[in-house]
Amino acid sequence: MNINGIGIVFTRGRGIDCFENALKDGWQRPDEIEIKGRKSFVYQVGPQTMSDKSLLKKMRRADKLSKMAVLAAADALENSGIENINKKTIGIITATAFGAHVTTFDFLNDILDYGEANVSPTTFSNSVHNAAASYISSALNIQGPTLTVTQFFFSFHSALQLAKAWLDEKRCDYVLVGAVEQYGDVLGYIYGSKLMQATDGRIKPFNFNPAYSVPSEGAVFFLVSNEDSENVFCKVEDITTRHSRESGNPAPIRTDLNIIDTDGLLIDESVYMSSFSPEIPTAAYSPIFGSMMIGSAFNCASGALMLKKQLYCANPVSDNPRVINVLDETKNSGIEFIRCIRYNCLNEQAVIQLRAK
Amino acid sequence: MNKKILITGLGAISAAGNNAAETLASFRVAKRNAGQVTLFETPLRYPVFEVRGLPGEFYLEGQRTLGLALGAVDEAMKNARLNDLSDFRVGVCLGTTVASQLNDLEFYKSYRDTGSAAMDSVNRYLKGNPAEFISRRIKAKGPSLTVVNACSSGTDAIGAALSWLNNGLCDIAIAGGADEMNRIPLCGFGSLGIVSMDLCAPFDRDRKGLNLGEGAGVIILETKESAGKRGISSDLFLAGYGSSSDAYHLTAPHPEGTGLRTSIKKALTDAGITPGEICFVNAHGTATPDNDLVEGNVLADIFGTHLKMLSTKGFTGHTLGAAGGLEAVFTAAGLREGWIPASAGFENKDDAIPLIPLREKTNIIGRYALSTSLAFGGNNAAIVIGRL
């Protein structure tokens, strides 16, 4: 399966070029906000990034989650450079952990303020988990199978795995597969209650324990297919989920770089250290886009971009208290394989194996 | 013809019965177990289809959807004689709507009013992803995935599981859907003006909307190789799945039913059969004016006006994320039993719909049946179930 195009909406803007610049520029301080007397850092997607009036004109009532998803999906399609795709042959798989929780809480406001018989049907419609995928479908006139899936740690991996299955079964010729998450003050409160928040705004991916988080939001979509188009970023060689130590050692995978999903969403991220080998450099790009359950999709985009450009991008944050082999220099060099690694709270591992075209 | 993926177990829990046998008994005598909401206080007086007497072993505090799922999974696994999973990669793919949302009103009210709230409901939510929960509970080692495609979630979950099996990602898949009666969809569907104050009447001329329900429906899908290794067989198989989006509207189906039409044709193609080989259709049939009009016309176009067709939502209500799972179980059971129930609630033909659903319990002869789902967001899905 090839990655033919990528679309991204994140705290620093929109588009794969913007993301590439962010990877090269390194860490930037997140916004500091105050909600209900509590200060915290957060990476939010600003109104400038969401200002596309032509694409969003059909969805004025949609929430931010859906708009971010539509922008990223549309950009992935355009970025592929593939023209005249039959929209009936494109599938959509949207992964999310928390879905439209901000709109759900708006709906709860309706119930509390106006009573159960006087709630807004528009708010309810937009609070449904698959609203974002539905907007992608209608905004881009895509009529293939359209699915929304949810898990807390491996939703993107599961979506990518299913996209590959759909392509191999020929259920569709292309799949727009991606992930979206929105920040909201309730989620920020939950993160603050359950996780260690970075009081200086810096996620330190190689600290492992304690692990610091900065809540964030954004969307990434990939146009994937078995087609070898001009603009192919890389191949997705394999996707595995839920590999545990109890199930034995995984087959050795050749890699030139490990990208790890450490972002503070596990209280103790020491489990990642078991996936290193001294001779393979490791990178973690969560300080660029923040802490999200769907952060794997952003790291996968980083890997795909580096394989396409044959460019190693240095870690955005240099803290390395365990003195492991981290990627500390941005440089052009041959890269053939990149392994993207995520663990969940049960120490189960998911891996996306990328290979240069 | 796709006969590779067997259906080796069925499990169902809904207002029609706490297991498949009770459900069939209700169907046989056309018993409709509807009433007012008892699970929470509400001023809304819509009739609903609640599960009565959920067995205590499946009761989970604040996690009713998971309890319902557990009940259906337990029955399906026993039905499939699936005890020791250690030698198999077992995937779990379940659809839901309610269990995917953090929508606890007390938690939110406390946060809104005071800036803080107890984390109990958050902890339950974080541990309550249905597929992950079931997978861990039964110690499954395959993939797990929760599908949140609104009202087609259950059917789409079965479709995703079929893809897993076809692509060798697991040997056995537990697939279907589960959803509880909950305040949020009750208020939400009420606000849309599509909930009836009377018992629902799918495809009836005078239908006034849907009734909400709750439940869980689960099927065990299994490769022939896996079933052979376990020493079991089955006369049922999942022959095909098709899915397509309307790309039209967030809440209304396309007036021409384009997505539904495509989904059905894809499912038939996937199964390698023609429309004439379908002996009955278990329709989505929510009893809303729009759904039944579009669906009835599409079914008549594809299968002709003499199609044997029913909606089982007159027995279960609209169980949202569970509907596709429950209706897959009912479709499979109908094929196996050789009869299907009357389409409860139907009395008068709607002249705008060229089909008449079954008015009475009817014997069926044939090897294939279809189950359809239409959803918020314009999702449409269909599965073909076959009998050897």
Give catalytic status of residue B306 as yes or no.
no
CA nearest to A287, candidates A260, A312, A267:
A260
Residue in chain A nearest B375 by alpha carbon: A130
Find the domain containing A313 and state its range.
2-355
The Cα-based distances of B150 to A209, B155, B239, B263 in angstroms read 39, 10, 23, 16
Decide if pLDDT at B228 tops 70: yes
Please write the tens of the pLDDT for every residue from A301-354: 999 999 999 999 999 998 999 999 999 999 998 999 999 999 999 999 999 999
* CATH number of the domain bearing residue A85: 3.40.47.10
Per the prediction, chain B carries an average pLDDT of: 96
Give catalytic status of residue B254 as yes or no.
no
Closest approach of B382 to chain A, Cα-based (Å):
11
User: Are the Cβ atoms of A145 and B102 closer than 8 angstroms?
Assistant: no
Please write the tens of the pLDDT for every residue from B11-60: 999 999 999 999 999 999 999 999 999 999 999 999 999 999 999 999 99
Interface test with A, best of B37, B167, B187 (most A CBs within 10 A): B187
Residue in chain A nearest B381 by alpha carbon: A145
User: Are the Cβ atoms of A242 and B146 closer than 8 angstroms?
Assistant: no
Confidence of residue A60 (pLDDT cuts 50, 70, 90): confident
The Cα-based distances of A54 to A58, A71, A74, A139, B307 in angstroms read 8, 11, 12, 10, 45
* CATH number of the domain bearing residue B73: 3.40.47.10
* Chain A residues within 8 A of B112 when measuring between CB atoms: 109, 112
Q: Please tell me the predicted confidence (pLDDT) of residue A275.
A: 85
Please write the tens of the pLDDT for every residue from A142-198: 999 999 999 999 999 999 999 999 999 999 999 999 999 999 999 999 999 999 999
Q: How far apart are CA B383 and CA A145, in angstroms?
A: 13
Alpha helix positions (H), A209-271: none
Binding-face residues of B in 312-341 toward A, CB within 8 A = none
Number of domains observed in the structure of chain B: 1
* Chain B residues within 8 A of A131 when measuring between CB atoms: 250, 376-377
CA nearest to A139, candidates A39, A244, A57:
A57
Q: Which two tokens stand for residue B291?
A: 């759904």
* Chain B residues within 8 A of A163 when measuring between CB atoms: none
Higher pLDDT, B12 or A84: B12
Q: How far apart are CA A34 and CA A16, in angstroms?
A: 31
* Chain B residues within 8 A of A171 when measuring between CB atoms: 163, 243, 266
Share of residues in chain B with pLDDT > 70 (%): 99
What ipTM was predicted for this assembly? 0.97
Closest approach of B101 to chain A, Cα-based (Å):
7
Find the domain containing B274 and state its range.
5-387
Which value, in Å, is the radius of gyration of the alpha carbons in chain A? 19
Q: How far apart are CA B315 and CA B318, in angstroms?
A: 9
Give catalytic status of residue B318 as yes or no.
yes
* Chain B residues within 8 A of A127 when measuring between CB atoms: 101, 184, 188
